[in-house]
Every structure is written in structure tokens, then in C-alpha cells.
Amino acid sequence: MEELGKQSCVKLDKTGETKITGSSVHQLIKKQSYRCALTGRKLSIADAELDHIVPFAAGGKNTIENAQIVLSDVNRMKGTLTQERFIELCAAVADHARRSNA
């Protein structure tokens, strides 16, 4: 795996955090093996979106360290939830569906 810290793909802001650039997003997609960070499903150009792991509404930053690539539908569902809260809710929905269909 190529290092995210290579000069050609990283630009640091004044706090030393990595800005989001086209090159850094490409490296992130490669790091994720071209799969959604939350579902593991294969990504395509048409359905991939950048997601902030900690949303702006919860104090998240616009840096590559706080970014992941997810499916568009997943990003819309996650909205302004933190990743932990979103996963909790998904688990509760799945558990309820299993119990209801048993």
C-alpha cells in the first residue's frame, strides 16, 4: 500500500493535519480496497461519496484523517450522526427485523 504521507498527495494545513485533496482521496479509496468503509461493498464512481467520520455538526474537521469513502445511500442515511451512533442504529434495525421475521 502506498503511504498516504507521500509529498505528492498530501498538503498540510497550519495545524499539521492533512487537507483533503484529489490525490489523498484516491489514496484513501485504494487503502479501503475500493470498498465502502461501512458496508464493505464494492464502490463505483457513480455511487461513492466522501463521508466525515465525525460530522461537522459534532465538531469533526475537514481533513483526510476524518474522512472515509462510503456508498451514497449509506452517506445519506448516516447524515450528521457519528459513526458509532449510526452503527448502533443499524444494528438495532437489523435486530428488530430479525425478531419480526422469525
What mean pLDDT do residues 29-56 have?
96
Query: Would you say the C-alpha torsion 3, 22, 43, 54 has a positive or negative sign?
Result: positive
Contacts of residue 4, defined as CB under 8 A and 6 or more positions apart, other chains included, come to 10, 18, 24, 27, 28, 31, 64
Q: What is the pLDDT of residues 23-39, one digit of tens each?
A: 999 999 999 999 999 99
Domain residue ranges of the chain, discontinuous segments joined by +:
7-100
Enter the pTM of the model.
0.79
Do 54 and 78 contact (CB within 8 A), yes or no? no
Q: What is the pLDDT of residues 59-79, one digit of tens each?
A: 999 999 999 999 999 999 999
User: What percent of the chain is modeled with pLDDT above 90?
Assistant: 77
What pLDDT does 3 receive? Answer: 35
What pLDDT does 18 receive? Answer: 76
Q: What does CATH list as the number for 7-100?
A: 1.10.30
Average pLDDT, the chain: 87
